[in-house]
Chains A and B, each alone.
Chain A
């Protein structure tokens, strides 16, 4: 990340914080105090830090996967659906098929595989028939959501909960343990990010992906295998989403509820873009965003701002991040003015 895009990222974040701050004032709160308390609750409080890093873990894993496809110029909007379907597939290995002994390994592998397939189908349609992947992945998110409802409200509903829509808690043997006091997903996300970085920037495959992303014609001239690029990168991205979904299920929720997923797949699109589709940077932006997602509740508590306020922040930030080239020019122009 060169200095200019770094600066423009900072500017974008500041603008988003400023706009959100205006709304905090609109609701009668003090933005600086609210932000300070949010920061304190997200990063300085041990319980808060645990939750923040857990969220960061899921977001970073999702973003690492999205980085691969975004760099290749493929818009996978379906991380949300792949997360859900991965989780459900893992659920099948626990609730439906009895594998004889309790281990989180098999559900995770199955969840990753199914998440990956769920992503590979629209990729294959794009590769073979040039079907718009934005529309197909988006639609599949909703299909996944209703499949989740079908299981939670219907076939997997826990009979012992007086009919409330939750599935039974999974037994200890299936759960992922904490590591050094951190939720399993955070350390895992560091490894996943490094692996994704290696694939994207240190391997031949990653080089081809980036060429394909920057110049479709050049990729065609070089006779790259488009199947492995399009379907392969989408499958890898779905693999990561499936891992995040399964990981949240096995390490944190331990059961399904209607609110499982809660839009992380969409937020990950923003963290990926803020991190310029570089898995190391997306790890950092995920930690930042997780603190914000988690800590936005503090803003509700201390300033009475409704929960939807966070969307203003996300929306404004996203709008500025994608217009970053424009901001970059502006920053440069300001610099030229000063010198």
Chain B
């Protein structure tokens, strides 16, 4: 037995699901597309991952398919948002319903089936040994990588431009709708990895309720981390830890109602949204200017 190591691993696993989901959503939102369907996408990709794993037995293929499943649902959302120019909030809800519906219907024959969790790799850092699976490693690389891409590369400039000043990009001859759709699909793939992490590692068993509201927490997380991947990394671990708090509080003998603790991610999101909207603090915060608005060229 590893002692406390297992518990830390659990917090890391729990946080990684949130981290992957919010990193995927983050780049979508940086390009101006808000997807409320996160919960449905996570659920559908989690189902796809475990179904492929059970049928084929290859975890890497399962991860890939989960990513594709996430990308597919996001493509629907991207298409409706960018080309039909329908409201993103509503198309997000449509994707939410479709995702949950599909995972319920197609997943019904896998209900309750268990798989072996992904084999973790042991990483030795001096005296500190920690075991992580490939998806955790991916998430941990992805957060700084996205940060660098967003702020230090030309691609990042374009992605940020899509969310902040699409008219500028259009003027320079970029196809805003097409670029936004691409970013949305890539983001969807990353969200799909969160689904894979969920059913291949954290809870290696399929059940329709498996996502359990993580999609909504991830939405909150993106806002709470001010659309910055490195802050997302931090906040994801705070929320992941909070998830374990109801258990820890009993161990420590604290008298806190776990249901009220559960409101923390949502309340903190509102509070942060408000704080960084205050005139005096607005400069410190950030939100994509065109978030949720379809790009329509003004002639």
Chain A positions within 8 Å of B257 at CB level = 150, 154
Q: Contact at A131–B277, with CB atoms within 8 Å?
A: yes
Question: Is A306 a contact partner of B90 (Cβ separation < 8 A)?
Answer: no
Interface string of B213-231 (1 = CB under 8 A from A): 1001001100100000000
A307: interface (CB < 8 Å): yes
Q: For B104, list chain A residues within 8 Å (CB).
A: 306-309, 311
Give which listed residue, A125, A129, A147, A315, contacts B95 with CB less than 8 A. A315
Complex interface: stretch among A45-53, A91-99, A132-140, A242-250: A132-140
List residues of A (293-339) whose CB comes within 8 Å of B's CBs: 305-316, 318-319, 322-323, 325-326
Query: 1/0 per position for B269-299, CB-CB distance to A under 8 A?
Result: 1100110011000000001000110000000
Please determine whether B105 and A26 come into contact, CB atoms closer than 8 angstroms.
yes
Least Cβ distance of A70 to chain B in Å? Answer: 10
Q: Are A132 and B259 in contact (CB under 8 A)?
A: no
Smallest CB-CB separation from A155: which chain B residue? B257
Is B142 interfacial (CB 8 A cutoff)? no
Q: Main SS of the interface on chain A?
A: helix
Q: Is there an interface contact between B273 and A135, defined as CB atoms closer than 8 Å?
A: yes
Contact of B277 among A130, A273, A323 (CB under 8 A): A130
CB neighbours (8 Å) of A27 from chain B are 105
- Residues of A contacting B292 in the complex (Cβ-Cβ under 8 angstroms): 132, 134
Within 181-215 of B, Cβ neighbours of A (below 8 Å) are at 208, 213
Task: Give A146 to B217 CA distance when docked, in angstroms.
Answer: 13
Given known A-B contacts A135-B219, A306-B105, A129 and B274 have beta carbons under 8 A apart? yes
Query: If the complex has contacts A142-B216, A154-B259, A312-B97, are A125 and B103 also in contact, measured as CB distance less than 8 A?
Result: no
CA A81 – CA B163 in complex, angstroms? 29
Residues of A within 8 A of B262 (CB): 146, 149
What is the chain A residue whose CB lies nearest that of B269?
A: A139
Residue of A whose beta carbon sits closest to that of B96: A315
Cα distance, A150 to B258, chains bound together (Å) = 9
User: Which of these binds chain A: B12-20, B80-88, B117-125, B168-176?
Assistant: B80-88
> What is the CB-to-nearest-CB distance from A225 to chain B, in angstroms, rounded to a whole number?
21
* Contact across chains for B220 and A269 when beta carbons are under 8 A apart: no
Q: A residues within 8 A CB of B208? A: 306, 308
Q: Determine if B86 and A311 form an interchain contact, defined as CB atoms under 8 angstroms apart.
A: no
- Rounded to whole angstroms, the CA-CA distance of A332 and B101 in the bound complex is 31
A288 and B257 CA atoms in complex are apart in Å by: 41
Q: B101 near A308 (CB under 8 angstroms)?
A: yes
Per the bound structure, the CA–CA distance linking A131 and B104 in Å amounts to: 35
In the complex, the answer to whether B36 meets A138 with C-beta atoms within 8 Å is yes
Residue of B nearest to A130 (CB): B277
| Contact A131–B96 (Cβ < 8 Å) | no
| Interface check B76, CB cutoff 8 A | yes
CA distance A314 to B102 in the complex (A): 12
Complex contact A135–B101 (CB within 8 A): no
Residue of A nearest to B87 (CB): A322
Selected from B91, B93, B102, the residue in CB contact (under 8 A) with A269 is B93
CA distance A140 to B271 in the complex (A): 11
Q: How far is the CA of A307 from the CA of B277 in the complex (A)?
A: 41
Given contacts A143-B263, A306-B105, is CB(A311)–CB(B97) below 8 Å?
yes
Instruction: Indicate if A75 sits at the interface (CB-CB under 8 A).
Output: yes
Contacts of B266 in A (CB 8 A): 139-140, 142-143
A231 close to chain B: CB less than 8 A: no
A266 on the B face (CB < 8 A): yes
A312 touches B80 (CB 8 A): no
B149: CB under 8 A from chain A? no
Q: Are B267 and A139 in contact (CB under 8 A)?
A: yes
**Do residues A142 and B89 form an inter-chain contact, with CB atoms below 8 A?**
no
> CA–CA, A318 to B291, complex, Å?
21
Asked if A153 is at the interface (CB within 8 A of a chain B CB), the reply is yes
Tell me, rounded to whole Å, the shortest Cβ–Cβ distance linking A123 to chain B: 13
Interchain CB contact under 8 A, B105 and A318? no
Contact B273 A269 (CB under 8 A): no
- Contact of B269 with A306 in the complex, beta carbons under 8 Å: no
Choose among B76, B102, B219 the residue that contacts A319 (Cβ–Cβ < 8 A): B76
In the bound complex, residues from chain A placing their C-beta under 8 Å from that of B260 are 146, 150
Tell yes or no: A23 within 8 A of B by CB: yes
A26 CA to B84 CA, complexed, in Å: 30
> Bound complex: CA of A256 vs CA of B156, how far in Å?
49
Which residues of chain B are near A129, meaning CB under 8 Å? 274, 277-278
Q: A150-B260, A266-B93 are in contact. Are A312 and B270 (CB under 8 A)?
A: no
Contact, CB under 8 Å: A315 / B98: yes
Inter-chain contact B76/A312, CB cutoff 8 Å:
no
Instruction: Tell me the complex Cα distance, A266–B267, Å.
Output: 20
Tell me the complex Cα distance, A318–B216, Å.
20
Residue of B nearest to A309 (CB): B105
Would you call A77 an interface residue if the criterion is a C-beta within 8 Å of the partner chain's C-beta atoms?
yes
What 9 pairs between A and B have smallest CB-CB spacing? A308-B104, A315-B97, A311-B101, A312-B101, A315-B98, A129-B277, A319-B94, A318-B94, A322-B86
A–B Cβ pairs within 8 angstroms, 22 of them: A75-B89, A129-B278, A130-B277, A132-B291, A135-B219, A135-B223, A139-B220, A139-B269, A149-B259, A270-B93, A306-B105, A307-B104, A308-B101, A311-B98, A312-B97, A312-B105, A313-B101, A315-B95, A315-B96, A318-B93, A318-B94, A322-B90
Q: Chain A residues in contact with chain B, CB under 8 A?
A: 23, 26-27, 75, 77, 125, 129-132, 134-136, 138-140, 142-143, 146-147, 149-150, 153-154, 266, 269-270, 273, 305-316, 318-319, 322-323, 325-326
A142-B216, A307-B104, A318-B91 given; name 7 further pairs at CB < 8 Å: A150-B260, A269-B93, A315-B95, A315-B97, A316-B98, A319-B98, A322-B91
